[in-house]
């Protein structure tokens, strides 16, 4: 496979090609098994990577980080919610 196709496959894998170029590349791949394999495996690799679940920033982790900051003498208080998120209850009585 030449360098131009290799670069096109890199762009194809990350879905960075225009629809027209993607269709053209797929058409060429129909008659080029090596190109087709590279396109499929590269796109599958990027999809597998992007579908990795995000590590969860749990409340326990949140608190442990705060504790580490406190331990180093930092006053890092949990900030109050911004006013647009605060509930305003009507005054009764």
Nearer to another protein by C-beta: 51 or 92?
A: 51
- What is the DSSP track for 11-77? HHHTT-S-HHHHHHHHHHHTT-HHHHHHHHHHHHHHHHHHTSPPPP--HHHHHHHHHHHHHTT---P
CB of 23 to another protein, least distance (A): 21
Closest distance to another protein from the beta carbon of 87 (Å): 18
Query: In this complex, which beta carbon is closest to another protein, that of residue 23 or of residue 65?
Result: 65
Report the interface residues with another protein, using CB under 8 A: 7, 10, 13-14, 40-42, 44-46, 48-50, 52-55, 57, 61-62, 64-66, 68-69, 72, 74-80, 82
């Amino acid at each position: 496979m030449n360098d131009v196709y290799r670069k096109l496959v890199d762009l194809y894998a990350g879905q960075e090609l225009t629809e027209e170029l993607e269709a053209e590349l797929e058409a060429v791949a129909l008659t080029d098994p090596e190109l087709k394999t590279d396109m499929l495996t590269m796109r599958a690799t990027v999809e597998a990577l992007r579908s990795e679940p995000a590590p969860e920033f749990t409340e326990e982790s949140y608190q442990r980080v705060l504790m580490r900051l406190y331990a180093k003498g930092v006053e890092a208080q949990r900030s109050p919610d911004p006013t647009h998120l605060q509930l305003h209850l009507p005054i009764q009585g």
